[in-house]
């Protein structure tokens, strides 16, 4: 009995010590509260607080657009809501525990054309409104105990995407506080190159950063915990030297015996615990949630999950919450997914931009298969992104891949939807699609790539990507499969009941699209447009 009590105390001490080490090594501080906002524009806001009567108090997430008056002149694509420029400000001091640490700001989403300032210093500009944005605050922060001043300018003028995208800092914000030697933000890449019910090989690439002024000798350990928090596997500690200011990728492998495979019916998750030590002291603990599974699209059998054929019974979703706008409460996400799960939905297409991190976390946990989509349009036609594409496409697409690559729910990367380039008889669209796909294959090769093609697209355009999504083109999919049996097909948008005839997607042929999909193994699945009502794409006086 005495031995058992001693062992229990030892385990409790070890657990408490581990929690303390994690807390000291890395902090993620919520940065949502105590902001002020003004729907006016002035350069003095970079360094000077709003004067009385100029602003209102807000908390994040915040969508200013949804509170404005509807006006027919703005058009149905943006739900008849106006464009504009607004500023956010926040004064803050850091806790004593951050002394001597590295501090970064992470914005989960700012729509759009954002400029961020700290204590008068311009941290950066980001036109795209759907990606996460990370800036290093460390060099510009004031000494401990003094207040820092952050200002964020948000500009939705000059053209907006379809459909309603809102305005403002519409997702969460965080402060990341770490030691000088740390894992970079989104700095682990977990893949499962070999999977069976007997054993799974887990491959981990960790990006380490040394922000100190001298070379550091680092020990890096990976261990896997199950849903109960029990350590079930670990790898041998890796030792390396990292130069001052240096950054490096470290690859390690772990084997999990008798793994529980992730699927919609059994969404089992594991946690990879990355432990970084310098001189025997734990300087960082970085946790990554992942699942063990394989996912592949096949030209004959459609979609294969863990080697078994699964039909994608899907819905297309926008990132807004209807009348609540794009500052979506967590419970709204959760409730939506609960209802779709009850309907029998097992797959979601994120139309037409990457969703929030917490949304994908829910998909991992609740068991949804996700198409993660980067763009609606590229640079042809009346696209808001035309002016940004050449300079920003790599950064914006790369952010989606980096941020979302560890989610087991994500089975396919979509590089675009209903591209104007799809109609071009030239090779412009083909070259552009190949350029984007090559980028994805190089950065995140474990998933295939798709784009969604509309009616009357050029045959050569739909032959570029690993998988081709057809919007309302069930009849053409059958014809094209006969011509191109090597291609992988899915119906990326479908009507809830009527089908379209070949060459006429509005024929309203009284055949349920799902009947067509279910009858053909080569069609991986279908996604009803839309799964939930959204703002935009409406004729006055309707708003959604």
- Tens-digit pLDDT profile for residues 475-496: 999 999 999 999 999 999 999 8
pLDDT band at 381, cuts 50/70/90?
confident
* Euclidean distance between CA atoms 155 and 115, whole angstroms: 9
Instruction: Check pLDDT > 60 for residue 11.
Output: no
3-state secondary structure of 424: coil
Residue that the structure tokens 């209807």 belong to: 322
* Euclidean distance between CA atoms 233 and 178, whole angstroms: 26
pLDDT of residue 13: 47
pLDDT of residue 24: 72
pLDDT of residue 14: 45
pLDDT of residue 20: 47
pLDDT band at 5, cuts 50/70/90?
low
| 8 A C-beta contact, residue 511 and residue 503 | no
Q: Which tokens in the block code for residue 512?
A: 């349920």
| All residues at 6 or more sequence positions from 26 whose CB lies less than 8 Å from its CB, including other chains | 176, 177, 178, 179, 182, 284, 285, 286
Q: Is 54 a catalytic residue?
A: no
* Euclidean distance between CA atoms 318 and 265, whole angstroms: 24
* Euclidean distance between CA atoms 452 and 467, whole angstroms: 9
SS (H, E, C) 203-256: EEEEEEEECCCCCEEEEEEEEEECCCCCEEEECCCEEEEECCCCEEEEEEEEEE
Q: Does domain 295-528 have CATH number 3.20.20.80?
A: yes
| All residues at 6 or more sequence positions from 202 whose CB lies less than 8 Å from its CB, including other chains | 190, 191, 192, 224, 233, 253, 254, 255, 256, 272, 290, 292
Nearest to 379 by CA among 340, 344, 431: 431
- Identify how many contiguous H helices and E strands the chain contains and give both numbers: 7, 31
* Euclidean distance between CA atoms 358 and 366, whole angstroms: 12
**H or E stretch at 305:** strand 302-305
Residue that the structure tokens 């070890």 belong to: 14
Cis peptide leading into residue 387 (ω within 30°): no
pLDDT band at 422, cuts 50/70/90?
very high
Is the four-CA dihedral 227, 232, 233, 239 of positive or negative sign? positive
pLDDT band at 505, cuts 50/70/90?
confident
Q: Is 418 a catalytic residue?
A: yes
| 8 A C-beta contact, residue 458 and residue 425 | yes
pLDDT band at 6, cuts 50/70/90?
low
Mean pLDDT, residues 45-70 taken together: 97
Q: Which tokens in the block code for residue 140?
A: 């510009």
- Tens-digit pLDDT profile for residues 514-526: 999 999 999 999 9
Q: Which of 444, 493, 494, 537 is catalytic?
A: 493
pLDDT band at 3, cuts 50/70/90?
low
Average the pLDDT over each of 6-20, 116-130, 388-402 and give the range with the smallest value: 6-20
Instruction: Check pLDDT > 60 for residue 394.
Output: yes
- Tens-digit pLDDT profile for residues 426-484: 999 999 999 999 999 999 999 999 999 999 999 999 999 999 999 999 999 999 999 99
| All residues at 6 or more sequence positions from 18 whose CB lies less than 8 Å from its CB, including other chains | none
pLDDT of residue 10: 46
| All residues at 6 or more sequence positions from 58 whose CB lies less than 8 Å from its CB, including other chains | 35, 36, 37, 88
Q: Which tokens in the block code for residue 469?
A: 């999504």
Instruction: Check pLDDT > 70 for residue 9.
Output: no
* Euclidean distance between CA atoms 174 and 151, whole angstroms: 15
For 391, 393, 418, 460, the CA distances from 437, given in Å and listed in that order, are: 17, 12, 16, 15
CATH classification number, 28-178, choose in 2.60.120.260, 3.30.70.890, 3.30.465.10, 3.60.40.10? 2.60.120.260
Q: 330 burial class (0-12, 13-18, 19+ CB within 10 angstroms)? A: middle
**H or E stretch at 439:** helix 428-443
Q: Which of 176, 273, 373, 418 is catalytic?
A: 418
Average the pLDDT over each of 383-387, 397-401, 482-486, 521-525 and give the range with the smallest value: 383-387
Q: What value, to the nearest 5°, has the Cα angle with vertex 108 and ends 77 and 390?
A: 60
Q: Where are the domains of the chain?
A: 28-178, 180-290, 295-528
- Tens-digit pLDDT profile for residues 294-312: 999 999 999 999 999 999 9
**H or E stretch at 289:** strand 281-290
Counting residues of the chain whose pLDDT is more than 90, the rounded percentage is 90
* Euclidean distance between CA atoms 209 and 215, whole angstroms: 11
Cis peptide leading into residue 61 (ω within 30°): yes
CATH number for the segment(s) 180-290 = 2.60.40.10
3-state secondary structure of 276: strand
* Euclidean distance between CA atoms 319 and 94, whole angstroms: 32
Instruction: Check pLDDT > 80 for residue 410.
Output: yes
Mean pLDDT, residues 25-53 taken together: 97
pLDDT of residue 2: 56
| 8 A C-beta contact, residue 307 and residue 194 | no
């Amino acid at each position: 009995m005495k031995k058992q009590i001693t062992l229990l105390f030892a385990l409790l001490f070890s657990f408490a010590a581990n929690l303390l080490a994690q807390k000291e090594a890395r902090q993620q501080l919520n940065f949502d509260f105590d902001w002020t906002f003004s729907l006016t524009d002035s350069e003095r806001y970079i360094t000077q607080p709003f004067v009385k009567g100029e602003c209102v108090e807000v908390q994040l997430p915040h969508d200013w657009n949804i509170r404005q008056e509807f006006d027919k002149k703005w058009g149905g694509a943006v739900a008849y809501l106006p464009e504009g420029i607004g500023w956010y400000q926040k004064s803050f001091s850091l806790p004593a525990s951050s002394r001597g640490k590295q501090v970064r700001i992470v914005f989960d989403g700012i729509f759009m054309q954002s400029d961020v300032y700290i204590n008068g210093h311009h941290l950066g500009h980001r036109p795209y409104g759907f990606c996460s944005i990370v800036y290093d605050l460390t060099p510009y922060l004031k000494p401990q105990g003094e207040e820092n001043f952050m200002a964020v300018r948000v500009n939705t003028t000059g053209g907006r995407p379809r459909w309603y995208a809102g305005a403002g800092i519409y997702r969460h914000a965080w402060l990341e506080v770490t030691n000088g030697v740390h894992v970079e933000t989104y700095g682990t890449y977990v893949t499962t190159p070999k999977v069976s019910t007997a054993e799974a090989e887990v491959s981990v690439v960790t990006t380490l950063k040394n922000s100190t002024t001298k070379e550091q000798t680092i020990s890096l350990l990976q261990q896997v915990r199950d849903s109960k928090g029990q350590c079930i596997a670990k790898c041998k500690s890796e030792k390396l030297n990292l130069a001052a200011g240096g950054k490096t990728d470290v690859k390690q492998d772990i084997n999990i015996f008798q793994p529980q495979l992730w699927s919609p019916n059994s969404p089992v998750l594991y946690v990879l615990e990355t432990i970084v030590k310098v001189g025997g002291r734990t300087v960082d603990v970085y946790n990554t949630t992942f699942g063990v599974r394989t996912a592949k699209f096949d030209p004959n059998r459609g979609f294969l999950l863990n080697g078994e054929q699964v039909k994608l019974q899907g819905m297309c979703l926008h990132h807004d919450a209807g009348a609540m706008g794009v500052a979506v409460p967590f419970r709204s996400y959760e409730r939506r997914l609960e209802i779709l799960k009850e309907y029998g939905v097992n797959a979601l297409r994120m139309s037409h931009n990457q969703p929030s991190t917490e949304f994908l976390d829910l998909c991992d946990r609740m068991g949804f298969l996700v198409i993660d989509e980067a763009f609606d349009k590229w640079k042809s036609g009346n696209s808001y992104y035309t002016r940004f594409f050449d300079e920003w496409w790599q950064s914006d697409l790369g952010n989606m891949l980096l941020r979302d690559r560890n989610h087991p729910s994500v089975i396919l990367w979509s590089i675009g939807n209903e591209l104007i380039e799809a109609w071009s008889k030239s090779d412009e669209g083909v070259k552009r699609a190949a350029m984007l796909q090559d980028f994805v294959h190089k950065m995140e090769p474990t998933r295939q790539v798709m784009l969604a093609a509309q009616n009357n697209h050029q045959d050569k355009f739909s032959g570029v990507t690993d998988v081709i999504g057809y919007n309302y083109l069930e009849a053409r999919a059958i014809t094209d499969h006969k011509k191109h049996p090597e291609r992988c097909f899915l119906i990326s948008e479908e009507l809830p009941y009527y089908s379209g005839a070949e060459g006429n997607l509005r024929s309203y042929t009284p055949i349920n699209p799902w009947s067509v999909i279910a009858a053909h193994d080569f069609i991986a699945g279908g996604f009803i447009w839309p799964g939930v009502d959204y703002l935009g794409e409406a004729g006055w006086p309707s708003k959604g």
